[in-house]
Amino acid sequence: MSDKFEKLYKELVERVREATLIGSIESLLGWDERTYMPRAGAENRANQSAYLSGLMHQKITDPRIGELLSELERSPYMKEEYSNEAVNIRELRHDYDKLVKLPQRLVEEITKTTTMSQGVWAQARGKSDYATFLPWLEKVIDLDIEKAECLGYEKEAYDALLDTYEPGATVETVSKTFSGLRDELVPLVEAIANSSVKPDLSIVNGDYPVDRQATFGREAAAAIGYNFESGRLDITAHPFTTGIGPGDTRITTKYDPKFINQALFGTLHEAGHGIYDQGLDPEQYGTPRGESVSLGIHESQSRMWENMVGRCKPFWRHFFPRAQKIFPEALGQVAFDDFYLSVNDVRPSLIRIEADEVTYNLHIMLRFELEQVLIRKDLKAKDLPEAWNSKFKDFFGITPPDDARGCMQDVHWSAGYFGYFPTYALGNLYAAMFFAKALEEMPDLEEQFAAGQFGQLKKWLNEKIHSHGRRYRAEKLAEVVTGQSLNHKPLMTYLNKKFGELYKL
Amino acid sequence: MSDKFEKLYKELVERVREATLIGSIESLLGWDERTYMPRAGAENRANQSAYLSGLMHQKITDPRIGELLSELERSPYMKEEYSNEAVNIRELRHDYDKLVKLPQRLVEEITKTTTMSQGVWAQARGKSDYATFLPWLEKVIDLDIEKAECLGYEKEAYDALLDTYEPGATVETVSKTFSGLRDELVPLVEAIANSSVKPDLSIVNGDYPVDRQATFGREAAAAIGYNFESGRLDITAHPFTTGIGPGDTRITTKYDPKFINQALFGTLHEAGHGIYDQGLDPEQYGTPRGESVSLGIHESQSRMWENMVGRCKPFWRHFFPRAQKIFPEALGQVAFDDFYLSVNDVRPSLIRIEADEVTYNLHIMLRFELEQVLIRKDLKAKDLPEAWNSKFKDFFGITPPDDARGCMQDVHWSAGYFGYFPTYALGNLYAAMFFAKALEEMPDLEEQFAAGQFGQLKKWLNEKIHSHGRRYRAEKLAEVVTGQSLNHKPLMTYLNKKFGELYKL
């Protein structure tokens, strides 16, 4: 490489790393805000965070970055499409263009409006009061449409929003995949509903003292490979994972003393996110090459560890005796098969975040369809409850009794996160694709799980996915790893096999 | 005020507030580093902190601040000496001049050297190996002398260092006060040693389960007025208090399951610091008018709550029954007077941080005298152990068995903190002056303590001290509050009375 381009590239990396470092400090502020900050510190924290995010924005949208990118895009670095340098130049261009296309006024208006509308939503949801929330939702939708117009798109505005969370994804590709998935999911849900096999939910709703849940959750998270030397597990109202930088990736959970699933599978889920972040290449930290690919790929990791590993039979072959020892009151007299069935209860339900791994995807598809028509203005926000309920009846055979348990249940829309939901189902699809490939390449994987060994799967994920950062976009990554393009077959094969056996279909 | 000066002053405040905000973020990073950060996150944390401290330094030494100060020093704001504006202009000038006088090269060299030398010290202290520490101590002393030369002084180099921690204090004034104090302290220590009254130390060294110590410590801290709505209490190896901004002042402590004093009085001490920070004027946040005066004044607050309140008889009249209930194993059969005496044990001892409130000041004076001769180069670092031991024998009548328990016991010198120690004893002196005045103005204060009421003292401190920020320098503040200039009489009156009664002198 010529000295000139080397120098320009070095400058680019230094500038981007500075912005990343500022962002990492903001992540710590956010973690502290949700874990340990004294209540009265909120205003000061808002000032600190606003300062850092302003500073970061200023650094990352510095016109000099645009100049450097323009120069480097004509450099020999670009000859090798997936080299570290070419990847960074390509992905930084993607991010930079998005950021500079949004006028400061719009960014501020979105921040202000969504902060307010989330507050209104939280209040209104409590009373299932859609009328109060409506004017805010209308504003948020208009702002998201304006944002999409600024960002630009080829086919439709929603694509621009989707691309924010899942770079490269479009309504067209996602719809095709979802539609194939739905065609096969609905009969499975029906078959399970009609099965004579019925889980005994009193098993998972027993006596699970919180301190012992914490012990068990930590053991399980450590066993699957979440590294506590470079991580922590704390308690928050809404569990999350945050990467504060190399050597520092933190997860949180939430305990219910009468329900083992919430904290346990929640911890495995966040540990899955954490393992991804812990597996990123620290040498590449601060550049796209050292970052995660997309929300969908991130979710594929959490979902795989939570469901494909955490709810599989071999996992419990290993962990059930330990669980019985830790929770003798709840599990001492319970048979293995009954426990295993009870953590795999499947049934249509109202609330997305409580849904099982079969029906969960239907909750997402419903939202994905409604988001599209809202952003296209084919559905007016005032008609959303009716559209939700009718579609819900169509998908699940039940009608929400109120909007709190209907179209107002999630925070996302009040926060302006149109385009975010599909990444959850994409995560399930990618997880199944990756997991099928892992099983193909390591046929004894489930025997290893039964022996409490999860290291080989983790290593495989580290090598195939985590260590590549944003080298490939999500769909390309799936192709490189599995040889297949994004499709619903692996997920349906997995679900049909697992639940076919469990529910004797 | 003319529009011109108003505008300039506003710009000054904005610039200084930005620097303070950056500093407050750094404080959170520091708190997290010492409480919850995963071990592997250390390098990333160092990068984050270094970035913020560089940014803060850049903001606070911006030549524009010097220009603004020069203009404003000629403004009508200065006519009223103790107005908010005049105070801020005066104190910012003090800070700015110090900061810009230190060349960046020297600052970096001090940081690098003291980081290393603290590591060497920690290792060498473990083996009481002064020879290994010596070359580092020599370097640190030379750097501190160079720093003092850059900062400038009237009489001697040590004054410049002292002024860093205690603005306005000089060797001359401090020596005079310390010398009067020593003359009266030594006979008191001797009299106590010769008293037939002997505390039973097995009382404070009983069974004190950590979780119950935490409950008791929290109750006591809350009772004296530390606000947990805007604070926290966590565990760290070395307890500290950190103000992260308005509404967010955090304290830490450390538990020993076989010794009640450490965490309890430690918590009251840090709560005292915390109450000061919580009592600063939030309207003035980010400017000197909203900051604490000096280390000495800060220490006066922690020492007052720890000793004059926390170790006084009325305090225990209220808290002893509760302590007996919480610690029945250790205190169930103990008589009040025996317990009260045991938390007020006085005896010459080797280690400063374990010293009682009588002998503590002698530990400081010894260091203060040695620091002066080291900085004057009248004592060579290689001769420090001998000088320490001979002086120690002179002050306490005992000779340290090794340097680990002698001149190597504190981290301060390895960290380059020459000039810091005196502020601890100044804290005791100021505490006694303030407390005597408080008792004079509120004669029923001790009756209130015995009833568990500490709010009136806290309110008095808020009004007389905390809310003024840096309006007055330390000595001036003492004069304004007590009508007296800094002197040792109130401390000796307090000690003679309390320990005279206790030890039947």
Taking only the tens place, the pLDDT of each residue in A124-161 is 999 999 999 999 999 999 999 999 999 999 999 999 99
Name the 3-class secondary structure at A203.
coil
For B434-467, how does the pLDDT look when each residue is reduced to its tens digit (9 = 90+)? 999 999 999 999 999 999 999 999 999 999 999 9
pLDDT for residue A115 is more than 90: no
Q: Which pLDDT score is estimated for A267? A: 98
What sign results for the dihedral spanned by CA atoms B39, B29, A58, A151?
positive
Q: Report pLDDT for A410.
A: 95
Grade residue A245 by pLDDT with cuts at 50, 70 and 90.
very high
Judge whether A341 and A197 are in contact, CB under 8 Å.
yes
Is the pLDDT assigned to residue A70 strictly greater than 80? yes
Banded pLDDT at A67 (limits 50, 70, 90): very high
- Residues in chain B within 8 Å Cβ distance of A49: none
Determine whether the interchain pair B21/A48 forms a contact, defined as Cβ–Cβ distance below 8 Å: yes
CB nearest to B41's CB, from A41, A52, A247: A247
Look at residue B6 and give its three-state secondary structure.
helix
Pairing of strands A241-245, A248-253: antiparallel
**Tens digits of residue pLDDT in B66-90:** 999 999 999 999 999 999 999 999 9
| Active-site annotation of A, residues | 270
Confidence of residue A289 (pLDDT cuts 50, 70, 90): very high
Instruction: Provide the pLDDT confidence category of residue A286 given band limits of 50, 70 and 90.
Output: very high
State yes or no: pLDDT of B104 exceeds 90. Answer: no
Averaged pLDDT, B404-424: 96
Per-residue pLDDT for A1 more than 80?
no
- Cβ neighbours of residue B70 closer than 8 Å, sequence gap 6 or more: none
Residues sharing a CB contact under 8 Å with residue B15, sequence separation 6 or more, in sequence order = B59, B62, B64, B65, B68
Residue A178 amino acid letter: F
Domain B210-334+443-502: which CATH number of 1.20.1630.10, 1.10.1370.30, 1.10.3720.10, 1.20.1260.10: 1.10.1370.30
Mean local confidence (pLDDT), A227-243:
96
User: Is residue B414 over pLDDT 90?
Assistant: yes
**What is the model's pLDDT at position B1?**
73
Name chain B contacts of A47, Cβ cutoff 8 Å: 21, 245
Reported confidence tier of residue A104, pLDDT bands at 50, 70, 90: confident
With pLDDT > 70 as the criterion, what percentage of chain A qualifies?
A: 100
Q: What is the pLDDT of residue B476?
A: 97
Q: Do B22 and A51 touch (CB under 8 A)?
A: yes
Mean pLDDT of chain B: 96
Whether the predicted pLDDT of B17 surpasses 80: yes
For an interface test with A, the pick among B20, B31, B33, B48 (most A C-beta atoms closer than 10 Å) comes out as: B48
- Predicted pLDDT at A106: 93
Instruction: Identify the residue among B18, B21, B28, B51 best suited for mutation to test binding to A, counting A beta carbons within 10 A and taking the highest.
Output: B28
- Would you call B504 exposed, middle or buried from its count of C-beta atoms within 10 A (0-12, 13-18, 19+)? exposed
B35-56 confidence digits (pLDDT tens):
999 999 999 999 999 999 999 9
Which of A24, A40, A232 lies closest to B36 in CB terms? A232
Q: Across the A/B interface, how many CB contacts are shorter than 8 Å? A: 108
pLDDT value at B108 more than 90:
no
A419: left (phi over 0), alpha (psi -120 to 50) or beta: left
Query: How large a percentage of chain A has pLDDT more than 90?
Result: 97
Residue spans per domain, chain B: 3-101, 210-334+443-502
So what's the architecture of A137-505 in CATH?
Orthogonal Bundle (1.10)
Partner residue opposite A48 with nearest CB, options B24, B41, B43: B24
Cβ contact, residue pair A40, B245, below 8 Å: no
Mean pLDDT confidence for A331-360: 96
